[in-house]
Structure 1
Amino acid sequence: MGHGTEASSGAAGPAGGGPVSVLVVDDNEDTRVTLGMVLELEGFAVRLARDAPTALEAVAAARPDAVVLDIGMPGMDGWELARRLRELAPGGSRLLLVALSGYGRSADRERSEAAGIDVHFHKPVEPDLLVQVLAAARKFAARRQEPA
């Protein structure tokens, strides 16, 4: 694990439509792989990406329900990744974007909101809290449905 995008099968997830799919984007391999394993144990279908360009390819290939992303990545940071994910059509606006970052100042949270990130967690985050937020990804998407 840890190179490019890896697909993983999650355990049985929430009722209706199989497990919630989550893309984890972090340049730190230990963080990326560990978070992926924790989410799989919680029943999510998890894919991993080591950087923003790989994440953009992964979302274009198989749109997840949610993306958990680091902010402080080399090259394209998480804020720019979030802006680009929001621009993807169709459905970029329906992705649940969750920042999991060492950047925790109020200015960082404001930047996350401006970039289109829905939830900004400062590391370390309580796993149960992250799981609760991600489990609601499909309800979140339904509320953000774009007009037909």
Structure 2
Amino acid sequence: MFFSPLATGSIGMRTGNLVIVENVNNNIVRQVVPLTGNAIGTPNLVLSPAGLTSLFGAGAVQQFNLSNTGTGPVTITTWGSTGDFNISNIFTTCGNPIPAGASCNAFVSFNPNAVRLRQAHLFVLSNTNNTNSFQSMTLTGFGTP
């Protein structure tokens, strides 16, 4: 037996009964077992825009958005960036967890170590229960003196 609530978007306690009918010595016996379960929401994290491509020069900062389009809270396990890009918990409006239906902004800064086109990735690992529990976006910037 498993619990799988059918009401999409509806969370909270559910009740029901398991009815067992059996024949005991030619007598029909009916057993009723009460059941309860708690329907929890499903978190869904969306990063936008799909990538950041207009960062020029040292110290450039750009905003990105994290939206929870699901019915349960999104808990960010870890996030960060690679290469010449840095994300800081100081520059964010995000609480953790991000409530269902909420969104927040965070900022990534560009600190190139060379004068040329640089590319890296921003990544977010969360508790979403689908193949998107690990999300990333491409970061592109041009280092200038």
Alignment TM-score, normalising by the size of structure 2: 0.21
Task: Report which of the two has the higher share of strand.
Answer: 2
Which structure: larger Rg?
2
Task: Report which of the two has the higher share of helix.
Answer: 1
